[in-house]
Structure 1
Amino acid sequence: MSKLIDEKKHSFLPERALELNCIRAVDDQTSLESSESDLSDVKKDIESRQTWTGKLDFILSCIGYAVGLGNIWRFPYLCYKNGGGAFLVPYFIFLVLCGMPMFVLELCFGQFGSSGPITLFRISPIFKGIGYGMLIISGIVCIYYNVIITWTLYYLYLSFSNELPWVSCNNFWNSENCIAADRNESTVNVTALLLANVTKVSSTEEFWNNYVLQLTEGIEQLGGIRFELLLTLLIAWIIIFACLFKGVESSGKVVYVSATFPYLVLTILLIRVVNLEGATNGIIYLFKPKWEMLQDSKVWGNAASQLFYSVGAAWGSILTMASYNKFNHPCYRDALMVPVINCFTSLFAGVVVFSIIGFMAHVTGSEIEHVIKSGPGLVFIVYPEAVAKMPLAPLWSVLFFVMILTIGIDSQVEKVPFKSLPPSSPIDQLMKNLHKLKIR
């Protein structure tokens, strides 16, 4: 009986082995066909991919992408909060050890593969999620970044007036505790002395909170739709769409203005504000080193986070921009230049911002630490109040918000997710069809 079972077992094994081999062969063939299909898609995407039309298109696009709003309102505040000049030590260390290598790596990946993050990471199926992750991150950032551009557009529109709307307290959005931004601190306000325990709020802050944002007391009160901001948001997206309508052909031309104009405005502002009373105190306050703070791990963490946020590595945008380069483009030169220029811009903007803060502290008679704010508060509260105290206030307000607008648009154009999609994607094909209809 056992002999019969052994014979059946031995006769079964070759048949089972043959069946398994057939299954493996089918799987291998399917995998091979899938790989060939992926390679065919990659080849098609590379062949149909555009290239930069000018020699400076790529480097200016990278500078415009890296130099963003964080250089204007985040770096100066972090520098002041984390030891002043001492903060530059960990920042430069992370720039050399992490920022530049990551920038070189991502740039070389994009230029070598001549494809965006989704197509490029098909090189290994296990890494496909990285490309989609980059796309998702860029999409999330674009949503809130365009809201900031919306606020900037709105303030720019309001700056075209004989009197800035946030300088006085005679408006329906002001409270009894309002202090006018254009007040003269050389006179003594007896009422203010009698009400010393009452919390005073500047007219610029009330304009921002009560009129522009119309903040409610809590999350349970949603408030109404700000139709002015909704319309401005639509205009902001139309501007971004117009910059990308022809792909790198149009965005490469936009950067010649958007990447260089902020430096012109920063230079003009620096010449104007550095001679104001108290400006020197602000600059000294920014860079005065506090070496003991280097022992705090939070300082090093803030330096690393600011560098990664500012350089913008691992978001897919650098990889995408590099994919439009010619294969033999000297990418190492660009990869070293962009982080250095980005770092210089942060320092340049810090000098301008703290000159304004020093001037404002001098005029108001306050300490600098009571004046400085981080994030949107610096751009939409502190600076508008400082502008109100200058001659020709509307002119300086227009210049400042045009600078913020060009910086925001430049970074946003390179972050938009569908720029990272392969040329065979439905969105890219839709853009091409719309362009053809426009030509006809």
Structure 2
Amino acid sequence: MLLPSCPIISLSKVKLIKTESQCSGSHVDRCLGEEIQPVPSEPAARARWNTKIEYILAQVGSCVGFGNIWRFPYLCHQNGGGSFLLLYVLLLLTVGIPLFFLELATGQAIRQGSIGVWKFISPRLAGIGYSSCVVCFFVSLYYNVILAWSLFYLGNSFQYPLPWEHCPVEGNVTVPECKKSSPTSYFWYRKALDITESIDEMGSFNPYIVSSLLAAWTLVCLGMFKGIKTSVKVMYFSSIFPYVVLFCFLVRGLMLDGALEGIVFMFYPKLEIWADMQVWRKAATQVFITFGVGLGSNIAYSSYNPKNNNCHRDAFTISMINLLTSVLATLVVFVVLGFHAKNKALACVVSNIKELSEQFLSGPVNINLMPSFNYSDPSAVALEAYRAWFKLHGKQFPGNLTDCDLEKEMQQGVEGTGLAFIAFTEAISLLPGSPFWSALFFLMLLNLGLGSMFGIMEGILTPLTDRFKTLAQNKIKFRVFSCIIGFVTGLLFTQRCGNYFVMMFDDYSASLPLIIVVVFETFSVSWLYGADRFLDDIEGMLGWRPHVIYKYLWKYICLLAMLGLLGATTIQMFIQRPTYMAWNQEKGSEEYLEYPDWALAVMALLIIIAVMPVPIALIHAVLMDWTRQRARDSEAGRYSIAGTPATLVEVW
């Protein structure tokens, strides 16, 4: 049993069950003082949200981020389209919202950061909060590098033509590496990252990315150095502006040729994917990542709410906004990518028609198999007409005729950073007024990243300032110092191989430790503290009792789902050696490489460091309890911990 046997601590009020033999005479004060943590008194100067809209904007800004823009669209398209969306909604209702509600309620009830929340429930659980802070630190390091990339592209968007629209020419010859790939891929890997060919090749620091990273951390520091009072002012813009940009892109995209095809490919259901457990794992991971459960930012933001705030309604409101944002972003992405894919498919048709014409003129070709196209104007040939002919006769012709498959074009470069910095930028370069749309897109990414970074940093700073008085007395200095540490440590990702470390941290330093943290959180509240008692506390705050279904969701569905996700992720790591996507300069293309042994050791070390505070805090608390018990037993031999009737003492 992790919870101490002496106190029973309620979130809304502290209930201490003592017996006369446990706390009698002169030992009453000492027993109470040693056995439990005092009720955390709310600091007089603790900030509060001025309005409810500020809190909603902050939570939306923290939850809605890069994952909504590039990870969700990719997963939705590659895993069954509409079927994946239905699966995501199912897991959102049964796992995502209950866990999100759990964190909002605990933060609001205790009005502390993640360390204070779990330490208040039991000193033996304090390690959960420290683990959250460690994971937040890891996430902040590589997350702000993505902001730096966005800043770099934003700065390069104020040119016409855009620098990634055409391959560079050296000595009247197109650069071979660019010619083998594409202008956008070449600009991303060679100009922006100047990337090495593997993670083993460290390379020097990239001065452009170093400068951009410094600018990104400066923006984060300026936006949050006085806490929520300054960050919320930025949130009014950073949380709303992305929706304006997404709406503009959607309206513009729907006017483009290929938009309808993009939407069809996006939502076309493939129900057979429900039988694939890996798809369930990906959907659950996306739900988990989207809400940032376990990072501590949800607890930190909700701790600034009044006690009677309706956190249950907030959980549903923010969740629905998050879901609609993912769907809206996916529509925008695939409308634009549909236009991009249609252009490439039509260019493929023109190339094949020209080759057909050359074959007819240069050699004997069966005239009966030749299509009746307008060879003088290949661009007028419809894609559907060409594909219909190719299926019947295309393979009977010599040469390199291709199918010009629109769906294959849709699947190119739509994963992770490749979606934003390669595929989407290439599509934007085809739009009239491309610099304007490029600047708008990367300004949107910058705002999305800032909102998430504010939440991530609050997940670190709020718990530590609540826990340590020295930090609370020097909040501004601590926040500035944290940003400096973040920048200096983040220089690791500005090396020429930095992108590979970003992928490593994203895949292994955040997701797996966070799953473990959330398992501890859910188990502690639903089993150790008690789901019924937790619902009692929420009833005391809200004035009404949430439905009993939450009890069973927390105790069984959520916990089993998280354990299943943890097991599936771990098994996947052992079955298949982890890989990363590297850039092959000679081929001018991406390829998957296996992580070297030293990188696997680093991954394991990151996971261990992130999870280690949980057992350390548990062992420390157990030893402290044992030491105190020994001291009491030696002073009063008749002292006993259990086995006598209890009396109730309420302190609040």
- Select which of 456, 459, 462 maps to 1:419: 462
Partner of 2:92: 95
Cα distance change of structure 1 residues 364 and 132 upon mapping to structure 2, 3 Å threshold = same
Cα distance in structure 1, aligned partners of 2:308 and 2:29: 36
Q: Is the 8 A contact 2:465 2:475 kept in 1?
A: no
Deviation at 1:255, TM superposition (A): 1.1
Q: 1:120-149: per-residue Cα shift (whole Å, max 9, x none)?
A: 222201111111011111111111100000
Deviation at 1:276, TM superposition (A): 0.6
Cα distance change of structure 1 residues 135 and 28 upon mapping to structure 2, 3 Å threshold = farther
Paired letter, 2:421: F
- Select which of 112, 115, 118 maps to 2:112: 115
Deviation at 1:310, TM superposition (A): 0.4
Kindly report which structure 2 residues correspond to 1:337-416, keeping only aligned pairs within 5 A, or say none.
337-365=317-345, 367-370=406-409, 371-416=412-457
Partner of 2:505: none
Out of 122-131 and 212-221, give the one that drifted further. Answer: 212-221
Deviation at 1:105, TM superposition (A): 0.8
Paired letter, 2:464: L
Q: 1:22-74: per-residue Cα shift (whole Å, max 9, x none)?
A: xxx999977744567x427x32x543321112231111111111111000000
- Select which of 474, 481, 489 maps to 1:430: 474
Partner of 2:124: 126
Cα distance change of structure 1 residues 97 and 163 upon mapping to structure 2, 3 Å threshold = same
Paired letter, 1:130: I
Paired letter, 2:211: L
Paired letter, 1:330: N
Cα distance in structure 2, aligned partners of 1:101 and 1:71: 20
Cα distance change of structure 1 residues 327 and 364 upon mapping to structure 2, 3 Å threshold = same
Cα distance in structure 1, aligned partners of 2:463 and 2:338: 42
Cα distance in structure 2, aligned partners of 1:145 and 1:387: 24
Q: Is the 8 A contact 1:167 1:203 kept in 2?
A: yes
- Select which of 61, 69, 73 maps to 1:72: 69
Is 1:206 paired with 2:250? no
How many pairs were matched up?
391
Is 1:164 paired with 2:184? no
Name structure 1 gaps, 5 residues minimum. Answer: 1-20, 180-199, 436-440
Paired letter, 2:294: A
Q: Is the 8 A contact 1:174 1:203 kept in 2?
A: no
Q: Is the 8 A contact 1:174 1:206 kept in 2?
A: no
Paired letter, 1:115: Q
Cα distance in structure 2, aligned partners of 1:425 and 1:228: 39
Cα distance in structure 1, aligned partners of 2:104 and 2:441: 32
Partner of 2:44: 47
Cα distance change of structure 1 residues 31 and 385 upon mapping to structure 2, 3 Å threshold = farther
Partner of 1:283: 263
Q: Is the 8 A contact 2:64 2:322 kept in 1?
A: yes
Is 1:324 paired with 2:368? no
Cα distance in structure 2, aligned partners of 1:28 and 1:315: 38
Cα distance change of structure 1 residues 144 and 165 upon mapping to structure 2, 3 Å threshold = same
- Select which of 53, 58, 65 maps to 1:56: 53
Out of 167-176 and 392-401, give the one that drifted further. Answer: 167-176
SS of the aligned residue for 1:56 comes to helix
- Select which of 266, 269, 280 maps to 2:249: 269
SS of the aligned residue for 1:78 comes to helix
- Select which of 148, 151, 154 maps to 1:150: 148
Partner of 2:231: 251
Deviation at 1:427, TM superposition (A): 3.8
Cα distance in structure 2, aligned partners of 1:328 and 1:46: 18
Name structure 2 gaps, 5 residues minimum. Answer: 1-20, 346-403, 480-652
Q: Is the 8 A contact 1:64 1:411 kept in 2?
A: yes
Cα distance change of structure 1 residues 374 and 31 upon mapping to structure 2, 3 Å threshold = farther
Paired letter, 1:207: F
Partner of 2:83: 86
Partner of 2:605: none
Q: 1:233-257: per-residue Cα shift (whole Å, max 9, x none)?
A: 0111111111112211111221111
Q: Is the 8 A contact 1:71 1:345 kept in 2?
A: yes
Partner of 1:187: none
Partner of 1:178: 178
Out of 343-352 and 247-256, give the one that drifted further. Answer: 247-256
Q: Which runs of 4+ in 1 moved over 6 A?
A: 25-31
Cα distance in structure 1, aligned partners of 2:48 and 2:119: 21
Answer 1 or 2: higher relative contact order, Cα 8 Å, separation at least 6: 1
Cα distance change of structure 1 residues 421 and 226 upon mapping to structure 2, 3 Å threshold = same
Q: CA RMSD in A?
A: 2.5
SS of the aligned residue for 2:465 comes to coil
Deviation at 1:177, TM superposition (A): 4.9
Cα distance in structure 1, aligned partners of 2:423 and 2:291: 26
Q: Is the 8 A contact 1:357 1:368 kept in 2?
A: no
Q: Is the 8 A contact 1:84 1:290 kept in 2?
A: yes
Q: Is the 8 A contact 1:85 1:290 kept in 2?
A: yes
Partner of 1:313: 293
- Select which of 226, 229, 235 maps to 2:206: 226
Q: Is the 8 A contact 1:115 1:422 kept in 2?
A: no
Cα distance change of structure 1 residues 220 and 138 upon mapping to structure 2, 3 Å threshold = closer
Paired letter, 2:63: A
Cα distance in structure 2, aligned partners of 1:224 and 1:236: 20
Deviation at 1:425, TM superposition (A): 4.4
Cα distance change of structure 1 residues 169 and 331 upon mapping to structure 2, 3 Å threshold = same
Partner of 1:192: none
Cα distance in structure 2, aligned partners of 1:432 and 1:216: 39
Is 1:106 paired with 2:103? yes
Cα distance change of structure 1 residues 147 and 425 upon mapping to structure 2, 3 Å threshold = farther
Cα distance change of structure 1 residues 372 and 354 upon mapping to structure 2, 3 Å threshold = farther
Cα distance change of structure 1 residues 236 and 26 upon mapping to structure 2, 3 Å threshold = farther
TM-score by length of 1: 0.84
Q: 1:370-423: per-residue Cα shift (whole Å, max 9, x none)?
A: 434200000001111111111101000000001111001001111012133234
Cα distance in structure 1, aligned partners of 2:189 and 2:43: 49
Cα distance in structure 2, aligned partners of 1:126 and 1:26: 27
Deviation at 1:99, TM superposition (A): 0.8
Q: Is the 8 A contact 1:146 1:236 kept in 2?
A: yes
TM-score by length of 2: 0.57
Partner of 1:190: none
